[in-house]
Every structure is written in C-alpha cells, then in structure tokens.
Structure 1
C-alpha cells in the first residue's frame, strides 16, 4: 500500500492509502481540490474516513460525493457530519482497500472524535499531533487523559498520520516543558531541517511520540514537575497534570 499526504488549506494533510491499482481510502478531505488533482494522476477513491466534524476535515466531502456517486463515507455517530453513509463506534472496524481499519474513540478535541488504525498506520485526525494534541474544544481534561492513554496503548510501530503540520511549533512548547529530553531535542532538530527543505515532518512513529510528546508523558516525573512549577502548586492527580499542561499550551507564546 502507498501512503500519501496531500497538503490542503493552510496546514492540513489529507491522507490517502492506495493500492498499486490506485484504489484508495481518503482520510479527512477538508478540501476536494487536492484529492481531485490526485485523481487526475491515477487515484481512485473507494471510501472516505472522517475523524470528526470540523470543516477543515469534512469540507471537501460533498464535492467528492458528487464526483464519485455512491462512495462510502465512514464517520462517527455525529449529526454534524450529515453526509456520512456509514457510522462507526469505538471497538468496531471497517474493511476498505484490503485493510481492516479499527475504530478508537478519542474524545477531547471534540466529543465524537474517532481515530482509525490498521496494523501499520494510525489516522489520528486532531486528537494526537506530532509532539502535541488538539485543543479541548468540547471535551474535558479527564477525557483527554483517557484518550492519550488509549492511544499510548497501541503498538509502537504504528505510523501516526495526523492532520496538521504542527511539529515545529509543538516542539518549541514541548522543549520548554521538557528541556532535558534528548529524544525531543533530536526530533526538533530533524523537524527544522525537514521544513527548511519544504518536506513534511509526518508520519511519525508512535514509539517516538511516546518518548517525546509531553501529552503522552503526563505520568513521568519531568512533565509532572514542570506542570507543578507552572501552576505554582503541588499537582493532585493525573487529570490535574493534563489540565495544567493543556492550559499551559493554550496560552503559550514562544
């Protein structure tokens, strides 16, 4: 299978997983134009997977449905995604392009957000970013903590295919929180070099995220100490750490 990241909008990626014949699954097409351009080069969309309802993830679906009548559109149970043809929930799976996509509920950024993973790839939408995670627009710190734990429990060899090119900006915050982390420093340096060459920093190994993403490391002493110092008090539990870390990131300016 061939994995392709199609740049879209300001900093989105639309992911396509295609076989040698071009038959593909398209993930979170916030804009139809990059997908249609890929179609002209041989892509043959068979199904669309949607992680959540934000327009930069679903905005291109209607145009793709018009171009490919009857295409499968697989989404969570969310009325704000009215164009879905199939609905999925946590623990279920769907078959497409010869692959089984497992569904994981990942509330936090939105309440109905899901991620999809195969044996090789994790399509995390805005739930998990390279060196970060999505803002809490609808969920709670408790839900975000549960989501990060759920994603951290997946196999480390999965390639994280998130929906935005945020690695460099996330790295700046992560290093502010965790300055002694050698793996994080290396990730930051590599990401800077990639972006200077106008290359994508994605996908990334989940195993590497577990070593360097502070939102997956809230149980570790360095992150807990940093959040305690930021809050100016002792932390009470893991939810308190996650809440403090997310609040810190939301107001962070380099």
Structure 2
C-alpha cells in the first residue's frame, strides 16, 4: 500500500505526499509552497517522482516551478482546461494515471473552479478544494448546479474510500453543519470529535466517504428540508437538491 503523508503549508494547507512502497520516490499533490516539500524530501532522503495538480489556485501551484527546477525529470500532471501554465501532461474527465501501482481515475469536479479535477482510486481520493470534511469549496468560478453534480461523483464511491482534501477546514465546516442539521446526533458526535482533535492541534484528515455521507450537508442536500435554511437562503420555488445546495452554499458564505 502506498503511504500518504501530510506536508503542512501556509496556515491550513496540506500538501499530500504519496510514498513508493519500496523506493525513496514521492509524488506530491498540489504543492502550493516548494519549501516545506523540499524540507520533507531532504528529511526523509526521498526523490520527487512527480506532481499532481487539482486546480489552478496559487496555494496549490506556486511551488511547482521551484520543484521542477530542483527535480526537472519529475512530470507535472493537471487539468486539461487549466489556466495554470506549469502543467506538462494534461488530464481530462475519464482519463487515468498510475502512481506507484495505484490507478487513479480522473474526474472533472468543477464548481470551486472550472478546471478542477479529482484523482479517484477505490482506496483514496484527492479532491483538492471540491469536497472538504463537513463542507465543500466556495464557488469562485462554477455554479451551484455544477458543484452539486460534482458531489454526485463522490457519492458513488465506496464508504471506505479515504478523503484527502487540501485544507484543515473541518472545525469551521462542522460548526455550519451543526447549524444546518441541528437535530442530527451523528453530526454532533463528529463535531465533538473534531473539536477535541483541534484542541490538541491534531489533524482531522483523512476523512472517509462514509463519514461524509453521514454528516456533510453539501452531500446531503437531497435529504435536507428547505425549511431548515434561513428564509434569506431558502429556495423560492424549488425543492430540488441543487436548489437546496445553492441555498446551503450561499448561507455558508455568510455564516
């Protein structure tokens, strides 16, 4: 099994490192900062074997150029339609990529950005800023309908699939999830667990798809009543899940 390590960057980013099971080779996902990646590689005497990019935002891509300078043979993979110019091997929805024997299906998951992709294996998923534990990414470029469709991609995965998102947002997300689902005992239990972890400055990731199906309001828009939303964010005419999702996302933006 490929080992996955977290490299801390900025205030709350995780740059995920996939370690070859028998060789000192590493792929990194969304290296927004080269310095902590270089420190990690030197600390463990690893070589950078490749880079996976989920979308173009600076905190996911700024470190790519310096890493390429240090490791010119390491290929950079990322979305075909990305404005980020550092991608050497472009990937589109339905493509696949092998990383140390793990085959990842590439799925387009737009909403946070239009170029966003996720790397999906039956054991784990690197979902960038599309799906968070207890939440989802802010809609900078896409529509609520696009993001709701992206959520369907994750809902089809096995409950055991590990969720590796790119930010430590779980505590804030669960405060909102508790407001959106105030009577849900599982939401409260998970909120308490997350609060306890963060009090000890421990990370809350990875989550699992099964956990997210139980607590994440943005995966549960088809189960949340319009009446659960404040009047200002309640759909005016539709109880469709995409309309509930849109209301939830607008509410979270101002929560």
- The interval holding the TM-score normalised by the smaller chain is over 0.9
Alignment TM-score, normalising by the size of structure 1: 0.95
- Structure 1 SS opposite 2:119: strand
From 79, 86, 103, the counterpart of 2:106: 103
How big is the shift at 1:224? 3.5
Matched, 1:46 2:49: yes
Matched, 1:244 2:247: yes
Q: Distance in 1 between matches of 2:235 and 2:79?
A: 39
For the Cα contact (< 8 Å) 2:170–2:204, is it kept in 1?
yes
Q: Which moved more, 1:95-104 or 1:55-64?
A: 95-104
The RMSD of aligned alpha carbons is 1.4
Matched with 1:129 is 132
Matched with 2:38 is 36
For the Cα contact (< 8 Å) 2:55–2:82, is it kept in 1?
no
Post-superposition Cα deviations, 1:140-191, rounded to whole Å, max 9, x if no partner, equal: 1110110111211112211100000000000001100101111111111111
Matched with 1:231 is 233
Give the 5 Å matches for 1:59-78.
Answer: 59-78=62-81
Q: Distance in 2 between matches of 1:195 and 1:114?
A: 29
Post-superposition Cα deviations, 1:225-248, rounded to whole Å, max 9, x if no partner, equal: 313755356550222111111100
From 161, 164, 183, the counterpart of 1:161: 164
- Structure 1 SS opposite 2:218: helix
For the Cα contact (< 8 Å) 1:214–1:223, is it kept in 2?
no
Tell me: CA distance 1:142–1:232, structure 2 relative to 1, closer, same or farther (3 Å).
closer
Give the 5 Å matches for 1:75-94.
Answer: 75-94=78-97
Give the 5 Å matches for 1:153-192.
Answer: 153-192=156-195
Matched with 2:13 is 12
- Residues matched between the structures, number: 251
- Structure 2 SS opposite 1:64: helix
Unaligned segments of structure 2, at least 5 residues: none
Matched with 1:149 is 152
- Structure 2 SS opposite 1:215: coil
Q: Distance in 1 between matches of 2:225 and 2:219?
A: 10
For the Cα contact (< 8 Å) 2:128–2:166, is it kept in 1?
yes
